Chain A
Amino acid sequence: MFDALTDRLGGIFDGLTGRGALSEKDVTAALREIRVALLEADVALPVVKDFISKVKERAVGEEVIRSVKPGQQVIKIVHDGLVDMLGGPDAETRLRVDNPPSVIMMAGLQGSGKTTTTGKIAKRLADRDKKKVLLASLDVRRPAAMEQLAILADQAGENVKSLPIVEGQMPAEITRRALQAAKLGGYDILFLDTAGRTSIDEQMMAEASEIAKIAEPKETLLVADALTGQDAVETARRFHERLPLTGLVLTRMDGDSRGGAALSMRAVTGLPIKFLGTGEKLDGLDAFDAKRLAGRILGQGDIVSLVEKA
């Protein structure tokens, strides 16, 4: 796929005439290929369209730098545009977790990676920032969801504990019990891991928003799968409407998807991407880096090889 893009761009750029300034014709031809590349990377169409028109504005009329070909220059402008859209090179990814006990709520579709990510971030906060962390599962639906979180708490080390499981309690009740336990136990941070839900399940969305009202989380993270396709915009928009989201986490970045969903979700919500999940184990978590992700969405190989060809 990357090679195909390189070839396509290569062909187009060989024919580019722009000297002096990038012409509209040159830019349009190049951006048509970029559009296809972004769609193949699963960036949602409305986001692609918006992005392309912004980049076009920026590129047309730009003075051509003598040392590079106009095609490379367009790529550079596209790349910088992606970095900007993803939050800039110095995107703020720290969690707001002063004021103990700070609540961090995790939400998202079924199977997106909430429980695993809870364990990962908890371990990170315990190891790096010496925080005392309590994990509470509000998932009363998925079989063994609570056991799963308890096992992860054990794996995360001695500064991470899980709330004892009490059969038959509803999520709102568990939330109150967890808040109480976090205060009494002198915890710095309380994670609320919620059950997976589709964004159109009214009852479940109402439940999530009730939990947020009770717990007043400092951070509410939407956990989404990096393999997600065009639906990323719909999911992000609907969760953003119902919950006080403060950030995004994209899991399964260790896969071979281009990760366009990250751009889509960032674009519709304006929320910062805080972390990327990069494995099944608890150490598989990276702080977000806009430049790296932009390179991946675009196919970094292309840029590098184009520059090398020059």
Chain B
Amino acid sequence: SKSSSKLGASLTGAFNKRKLDDDALEELEDLLITSDMGARVAAKITSNLAKTRFDKDVTDQEIKEALAEEIEAIMAPREQVVDFSDGPTPRVVLFVGVNGSGKTTTIGKIASKLKEQGAKAVLVAGDTFRAAAIEQLTVWGERAGIPVMSKPTGADAAGLVYEAIEKAKADNLDLVLVDTAGRLQNKAELMSELAKIVRVARKLDPEAPHDVILVLDATVGQNALSQVEAFRHTAEVSGIVMTKLDGTAKGGVLVAIAEAHDLPIHFVGVGEKAEDLQPFSAAAFAKALVGMDEKEPA
């Protein structure tokens, strides 16, 4: 089927009635590695499986179910939907991540949802660097019917964020959703610009930003782990959104992240339209990763 994973197809090919001996376990471990979960986590999951099933005859379906269970167990503690329409006012939400991961689009999607819920919000075009980044967010704001605050390209992003929070306080807004420029985590200068945005927000509200959402692209490999570490360090990331799960990549590195970091995963992106955002479900994610279901339930 369209959304069925590569791993799922491989598992079906390799484990159609087979004894789970050393060879089979090695092959299984390899297949798990092809999902981006990393060699260490793949080894751990395989050895967990071997504990109960070593030398038993298994079918591909049984293997998939057992794997999905293992993965779900790792991911379940991270499943945490966030309701931005709740909490302090104004609630300041910062979106961060490497270039092209889907920050602006995710804000657009969340903005559309919030509008439906009747929240009074403003979008802040904190990417003052990339060509047409402001125009892009402006279109999303128009779609959602939520105003966008911006400054010309090249302006200081931290200054804009300061003014936006100030205005949101004055206007009694519920929410300030802040877009930021994409930045690779190894660029010290760009990371310190991000730190400055956080610092400046705290001047107006010591608790702000109340949420710092790291947006990860599902196609990313092991580098995602270093992204999480660096953005946590610089901006105290409070949660994760994974985008582009509608493609062939199923975001296996999220399993490795869930293993290593006590960070909630809020949403997954499954397309480019406003409605293509779903709450993260550990069960659905695990099933999709091992290719157990035709479609992820909403």
Residues in B lying within 8 Å of A, measured CB to CB: 2-3, 6, 30, 33-36, 38-39, 98-102, 108, 129-132, 135-136, 138-140, 182, 184-187, 217, 219-224, 226, 244, 246-249, 252-253, 272
Contact = CB atoms under 8 A, between A and B. Distances in A.
A229 B139 contact: no
Contact of A230 (B35, B99, B247): B35
Interface of A: 36, 39-42, 44-46, 109-113, 119, 141-145, 147-148, 151-152, 155, 198-201, 225, 227-231, 234-235, 238, 252, 254-257, 260-261, 280
Nearest to B1: A200
Q: Dominant SS at the A interface?
A: loop
Given A200-B247, A235-B249, 18 more contacts: A40-B38, A46-B34, A111-B217, A147-B131, A152-B131, A199-B247, A200-B2, A201-B246, A227-B217, A227-B221, A227-B223, A229-B219, A229-B223, A234-B249, A235-B247, A235-B248, A238-B248, A255-B184
A41 B38 CA distance: 10
Contact of A227 (B98, B108, B132, B136): B98
A157 to B, nearest CB: 15
Summarize B's interface: helix, strand, loop or mixed: loop
Contact of A234 (B130, B139, B248): B248
A229 B220 contact: yes
A291 B272 CA distance: 38
Contacts of A230: 33-36, 221, 249, 252
A2 B244 CA distance: 30
A36 B33 contact: no
Contacts of B187: 254
30 contacts: A39-B33, A40-B222, A42-B222, A109-B219, A112-B100, A119-B131, A143-B139, A145-B132, A148-B130, A152-B131, A198-B248, A199-B247, A200-B3, A200-B247, A227-B217, A227-B220, A227-B223, A228-B221, A229-B220, A229-B221, A229-B253, A230-B34, A230-B35, A231-B247, A234-B249, A254-B184, A254-B186, A256-B184, A256-B223, A257-B221
Contact of A231 (B185, B219, B272): B219
Contact of B34 (A45, A201, A280): A45
A41 B226 CA distance: 13
B102 A151 contact: no
B36 A142 contact: no
Contacts of B33: 39, 45, 230
Contacts of A234: 6, 248-249
A144 B139 contact: yes
Contacts of A41: 222
B131 A148 contact: yes
A256 B226 contact: yes
B3 to A, nearest CB: 8
Contacts of B98: 227, 252, 255
A230 B78 CA distance: 24
A110 B220 CA distance: 13
A109 B243 CA distance: 12
Contacts of B217: 111, 225, 227
A261 B221 contact: yes
B281 to A, nearest CB: 21
Nearest to A197: B247
A198 B34 CA distance: 19
Contacts of B220: 225, 227-229
A109 B186 CA distance: 23
A201 B270 CA distance: 12
A225 B6 CA distance: 20
Contacts of A257: 221-223
A111 B131 CA distance: 14
Given A112-B100, A155-B131, A144 B136 contact: yes
Contact of B135 (A40, A143, A199, A201): A143
Q: Which of B100, B101, B244, B249 has the most CB of A within 10 A?
A: B100
Q: Which of B39, B182, B249 is most buried by chain A, counting CB atoms within 10 A of its CB?
A: B249
Given A109-B219, A235-B248, A142 B100 contact: no
